């Protein structure tokens, strides 16, 4: 019996999610990545293939790698989006379960006034 790693399973889920997301210049993609030390969020325009905005929990020493820190990262990325006239994004959870830090980041972005 072979054992498949968690990361490999996440990459399988990521492929399924990515296949459902259609690139659109009006609605960029909000991609999330979490490591053991930080949580990252970036807004990507898939039609041009460029990153428009990015935020991570390591940019500010006050933001920790916990649920409150993820919520703060969501608020910051939403503020940056609104400053750049981006009102709605497609949320790409990158194969992670919509639970814990990922859910907190999405909730923080919604609270700051962006549509997911």
Domain boundaries, the chain: 6-111
Q: Which residues pair with 51 in a beta bridge?
A: 44
Give tens-digit pLDDT for 54-92.
999 988 888 999 999 999 999 999 999 999 999 999 999
d(C-alpha 105, C-alpha 70), whole Å:
5
Answer whether 33's CB lies under 8 Å from 23's CB.
no
3-class secondary-structure state, position 76 = helix
pTM (whole model) above 0.85: yes
Residue 1's pLDDT is: 72
Q: What is the CATH code of the structural domain delimited by 6-111?
A: 3.30.420.100
Residue 99's pLDDT is: 94
Give tens-digit pLDDT for 19-37.
888 877 789 999 999 999 9
């Amino acid at each position: 019996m072979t054992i498949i790693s968690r990361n490999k399973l996440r990459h399988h889920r990521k492929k399924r999610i990515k296949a459902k997301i259609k690139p659109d210049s009006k609605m960029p993609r909000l991609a999330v990545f979490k490591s053991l030390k930080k949580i990252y969020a970036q807004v990507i325009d898939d039609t041009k293939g460029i990153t428009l905005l990015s935020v991570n929990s390591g940019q500010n020493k006050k933001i920790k790698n916990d649920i409150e820190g993820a919520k703060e990262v969501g608020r910051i990325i939403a503020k940056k989006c609104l400053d750049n006239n981006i009102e709605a994004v497609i949320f790409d959870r990158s194969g992670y379960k919509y639970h814990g830090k990922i859910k907190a980041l999405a909730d923080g972005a919604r609270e700051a006034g962006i549509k997911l």
